[in-house]
Structure 1
Amino acid sequence: MPTDDELYYLAELFKIFGDQTRIKILYTLLDGEMCVQDIADSIGMSQSSISHQLRVLKQSQLVKFRRDGRTIYYMLADQHVCTIMNQGLEHIQE
């Protein structure tokens, strides 16, 4: 059995997946790194809304970023995020 702290952080992680906009952002980033405007255009939302959700995703270590001049590119933090997304979708499709 995981420790209470581990269970707490796991529950917090799953809360992040409870928002449809964040899920859309993560699925968009499955295709590779993108800047905020490209993510916003892809999802059909404002740049401000996307930036707010990216902040939450960064704090949860689900996405990371790199700066190229004035542009910031976001990508999935690691392969685990892709695995979580794919397994979740597989589970609901059964």
Structure 2
Amino acid sequence: MGNLLIENDLEFDFRAAISAVRFDDENHKMSHCMKAVDFLVEWDKEFWLLEVKDPSSREIPNKFKDKELREFINKMRNQTLFAQGAVTLGRRF
């Protein structure tokens, strides 16, 4: 059964998933073949590798923040965020 996972001040509810684990520590035992993502979430017919980014991070130059925020809001409004931003790897079960 999945659970609640926290990244910084964001809480993600994956209780409906089969499993949900944090995968970004150095002990994930896959460092020889892949960079860690924040979370691995297993669903009935899907497997998600999630990397969480903070759009308010001080590391992002201000000249990019406004543009990126506008693009994100537009994608949310026209419901293309996931259709354009998600990549499906492998096959469906």
In the superposition, the TM-score normalised over structure 1's length comes to: 0.23
Give the number of the structure whose residues are more often strand, by fraction. 2
In the superposition, the TM-score normalised over structure 2's length comes to: 0.23
RCO comparison, higher one (Cα < 8 Å, 6+):
1
Give the number of the structure whose residues are more often helix, by fraction. 1
Greater gyration radius? 2
